[in-house]
Chain A
Amino acid sequence: MGTSAIVHQRAVPPGKVRSFARRLRAGDELAYLITLIAAGAIFIITALVFYELYSESSLARHKFGWGFLFSSTWDPVAGNFGALPFIYGTVVTSVLALLIAVPQGIGSAIFLAEMAPPRLSNISTFLIELLAAVPSVIYGLLGIFILVPILEHDVVPPLKSVFGSLPLFQGAFYGVSLFSAGIVLSVMIIPFIVSVSREVLLSVPRDQREASLALGASQWQTTWRVVVPNASTGITGSVFLALARALGETMAVTMVIGNTPQIKASLLAPGYSIAAVIANEFTEATGDLYLSALIELGLVLFGLTFVLNGLARILIITTSRSGGH
């Protein structure tokens, strides 16, 4: 970093500023402009999405105010709308998916980057990236026709016999539930975590590893104390990507979540997510207030993504600090 700054200073002697035209010819200004436009477009698109959601939902916002976030009624006939059960379902399924996918994804990324023979690593990575390319409706169909019967017969009965006393695993299980949706989501987001984290781990400089090994650290100590902390920013990024995917996933979730707007402590109960209700009801929604309420749900999802991303960031910063000391 320091050396390159010095080189740059030498190339342009003080007092002798190159003309704009010459710099343009050298490509500097042009590259600056193009990349600036590309970066600016992202801001503009985000702002436009927010603006559209905000202005189109004005009817529902004025009618329900902040109460929209805390009401559990969703009655299109009476024109009475509340977002709470949908927020609950979205958060619970996404968090459950992360709880399953983060340890599994990071674990397999560490194995593939640090321990597996290169051949195995490359083949596995190819397969994992293939998983990321499977359309979500396929995951939904596999979920309802394959996963749900397995959960119903082989997974939930033992779970209930062990943890049945916890409120999390009480009540009747109909197959479709928050639990099923969380599992389907976790399978869908693992490829994001594995593939990005593996790349980041591989890009940690070799001399870091060699230095650690030379100091007498074991292979695992080197991986856990040196390589992973070095790659932590990138791994965090992969988790955010996965979280964003889980929050917004629509088709796969609606097929296995049960589509029932209710708040039950049990993971085995059916629920509903924000993206699922928008996809389900938007096409046949007649009446301005109804449409406006659905658009406000989109706004809520937008806000929820910000909040959860922020919380995840805080969580990761605090845990990585305590881990470092």
Chain B
Amino acid sequence: MKKFLLFLLVLVMSVSIFAKTQVVFWHYWDGENGRKLDSLVKDFNSVHPDIEVKAVFIPGSDLMTKIQTSVLSGQTPDMAISDIISVPLVIDTGKVIDLMPFVKRDKYDLSDFYESTLVYGKVGGKLFTIPVSSSNLALFWNKDLFKKAGLDPERPPRTWDELVQYGKTIKEKTGKFGYELYLDGGEGTTWQWQIFLWQAGGEFLDPNKGYRTATFNSKAAVKALQFWVDLTNTYKISPIASWGLFSRGEAAMVMDGSWMTQFFPAQVDFELGSAIFPYPSDGKPATNMGGEQIFIFDTSKEREEACWQFIQWFTSTKVQVDWDKATGFIPVKQSVAKDPSYNAYIKNTNRLLLPFIEAQQYAHARPPIKEYSQVSDIVARAIISAVYKRGTPQEVLNDAAKQVNALLGKE
């Protein structure tokens, strides 16, 4: 009898456990970011006794192929994140749900998000993804090399002309390179160059034509690419070499991501500065944005609701402040960037991050199209061709535009 009661108890308990809505959440945050996510998920689960979120780590390089196969086999997780660049492919599955009804029902405040972060999820009047983390690019400089060259180590260049001047001085006085460009090709090259393009007043693809026409061969684009050619070939202050000279003290300045404010200090043996990236005197500041967005797969009403509860909680200003403090991600919401406790924390712990937070208001989004990776590779190839003097900037960009228009016109 006793045994039977015990069995009954176990049965009742297990039923009550199963009464919880269990949802599976795929992500690729590892290291410190992964640990923080796990602890946040635990917090969420403890205040939501009826929901159990299970965070499952998938390596970043596998996530998209995993999503691909899960969609094909009909065994998707309940929610997942992806890199912003992959969002158009995720939406293309037709298996992620429109969040607009939830947003309207709960009066979820979208206007608090930086506009450029919402570009990816919005399709027509629908909203498929919500930003959860961001990163962007700015200037890092080597204060020791600045000192050696007789420059004020606390004053970074603010314009392209100053960047060139500083670079020349550094080359003359120290023999090191002034500014390191990313010339290893692929998206690494393209997304850095896009910043120069936007600063010069250009656009990458035409936003008025659904991003299906190349505009990266405009006058502004030629100006931006000519600047790269001048840096490497005319002033010779940027080396044509594999990436990584800055961290070895071989180049005095570099454009790199907000995440490097955590890695550089451990890697380098010189004093670092960071600043908004210099822009042309007749141009405007700009930066490029990376990051992740979260989305819900089409499962059941109950589970979708549970996922939405989690997203609402995760993207609340309070949790996002906590998240950004621990991870070093750049805020996706203005209320986080303005939050006094967040700012005080960053000032005390990671001053290098401040220019990145400030730059977020100038962040542009890369075009939210499915073919972006291929377009990016075509443009990177053109950029490097120009730097290698295989053609003038106008020629190589026109050629790339022709290829991209043919690719995007297919549909």
Is chain B a partner of chain A in the same complex? no
- A positions within 8 Å CB-CB of B: none
Give me the interface of B with A, judged by CB distance under 8 Å. none
